[in-house]
Amino acid sequence: MRTLENQKKEIGGVVYKVAPLTTKASLRVLARVLKMAAPAFGDVVSLRAAARAATGSLGTLFAGLAGDLDEAILLDVCDAFAEVTEADLGGKKLLALRGGQWDEHFRGRLFELFEWVAFSAEVTYGPLYARLQVADPEPPADPPAEG
């Protein structure tokens, strides 16, 4: 089984270690966020087209959607990313953000919360987003006509 490495980023003086979401969790979060964001993309008909329509990084997209998220989706996204996040509080102590710990950890630090959500989205969805940004492959050429 392939092991995906955690990624680390310092946000507001705290280093966050984030692993990609599990497949089921990543599909659930992606589906909920895309359903919520659908009006913003108008008549975009494919995930590839939506990725191309978005400007900037995937994390920027996730963070930018925060203003349009309903409460339930925002809380579900935070709960999902918290399951795969540890915060390095200095020394050898790591704080697992799961089980609602993220709520207290980010008290009074909403800017850092949205930076963390954006980073967590990049960890999980970054490879998918990068693949969707690549130009469509050229269709195979027709074989030369015999004759």
> Could you tell me if residue 141 is inside a domain?
no
Measure the CA–CA gap between 124 and 25, rounded to whole angstroms. 10
Over its length of 147 residues, how does the chain's per-residue pLDDT go in tens digits? 455 678 999 999 999 999 999 999 999 988 888 777 666 555 544 555 555 555 455 555 555 555 566 788 889 999 999 999 999 988 778 899 999 999 999 999 999 999 999 999 999 988 877 777 665 556 666 666 675
> Could you tell me if residue 138 is inside a domain?
no
> Could you tell me if residue 116 is inside a domain?
yes
> Could you tell me if residue 43 is inside a domain?
yes
Q: Are 29 and 78 in contact (CB under 8 A)?
A: no
Tally the residues of the chain: 147
Please give the pLDDT value at position 36. 74
> Could you tell me if residue 120 is inside a domain?
yes
> Could you tell me if residue 29 is inside a domain?
yes
- Number of structural domains, the chain? 1
Please give the pLDDT value at position 72. 86
- For tokens 């200095």, name the residue: 90
Domain interval for residue 116: 7-133
CA distances from 69 to 26, 29, 44, 55, 92 (A): 17, 12, 19, 18, 35
> Could you tell me if residue 117 is inside a domain?
yes
Please give the pLDDT value at position 86. 96
The structure's pTM equals 0.73
Q: Are 114 and 45 in contact (CB under 8 A)?
A: no
> Could you tell me if residue 67 is inside a domain?
yes
